[in-house]
Amino acid sequence: MHWDRFLLLGSILTGLVGGCQKSSPAYLGAPPQVVEEAPRASLNQSSPLALLSSMLTAARAGDFNAIARAQDLTAGKQEITISDVQRAERDWGNRAQQPLREKVEKALQQGQVKAEQQGESATLRVQVGGALGSVQLTFVQIEGRWYQHTVP
């Protein structure tokens, strides 16, 4: 019959699929660059309130490596990547959010942060006023340390 055509088509398809498999990492791009961490700010991860205070201090100092380490997406990672640091900078370093961070810090210093903990997760609510009303931050406990819950 036409077996020779099927064999030819099969070898062409095998060549195409094999070629894609060899070059597929190029389509995905290079892996994220690992960040050389300088000695980072000391993070107090003993409680959600302590961690929030540490993160606010790190944000004031521009230490986004420390903030990246305090987010749950980096828990257990040996090294952080530039993507981790950029996420921390977007979340905590945005100049437009500085007035909001100042309100959160003031409320924290005055003991006006409401904490609700259930097992290994906690929610902190801060009344900031204005149209926003309140800010809610979620934290999770992983292997005895608290981390800010972040969305990838």
pLDDT tens digits, one per residue of 120-132: 999 999 988 777 7
CB within 8 Å of 114: residues ≥ 6 apart:
124, 125, 126
pLDDT for the residue 130: 77
Rounded percentage of the chain residues whose pLDDT exceeds 70: 78
Question: Does any domain span residue 27?
Answer: no
Question: Does any domain span residue 74?
Answer: yes
Element (H, E) at 145: strand 145-148
Pick the more confident residue, 20 or 126: 126
pLDDT for the residue 127: 86
Quick count: other Cβ atoms within 10 Å of Cβ 142?
12
Question: Does any domain span residue 125?
Answer: yes
**Residue 118 belongs to a domain with what CATH number?**
3.10.450
Q: What is the mean pLDDT of residues 47-70?
A: 93
Bridge partners, residue 136, by sequence: 125
How many domains does the chain contain in total? 1
CB within 8 Å of 69: residues ≥ 6 apart:
40, 43, 80
Residue 111's Cα: distance from chain center in Å?
Answer: 27
Question: Does any domain span residue 116?
Answer: yes
CB within 8 Å of 131: residues ≥ 6 apart:
none
| Residue found by looking up tokens 């894609």 in the block | 20
Question: Does any domain span residue 66?
Answer: yes
Q: Please, what is the angle between helix 48-61 and helix 82-92, to 10°?
A: 100
pLDDT for the residue 132: 76
Question: Does any domain span residue 21?
Answer: no
Lookup: tokens for 106: 């003031």
pLDDT band (50, 70, 90) for residue 21: very low
pLDDT band (50, 70, 90) for residue 113: very high
| Residue found by looking up tokens 């090294």 in the block | 79
Question: Does any domain span residue 67?
Answer: yes
The mean predicted confidence, pLDDT, of the chain is 81
Contact assessment for residue 140 and residue 129, using Cβ atoms and an 8 Å cutoff: no
pLDDT for the residue 38: 65
Instruction: Tell me the HSE value of 34 on the side-chain side, using a 13 A CA sphere.
Output: 5
Q: Which of 72-76, 80-84, 119-123 has the highest mean pLDDT?
A: 119-123
Q: Which of 14-28, 107-121, 128-142 has the lowest mean pLDDT?
A: 14-28
Which residue range forms the structural domain that includes residue 86? 48-148
Question: Does any domain span residue 56?
Answer: yes
Element (H, E) at 25: helix 3-28
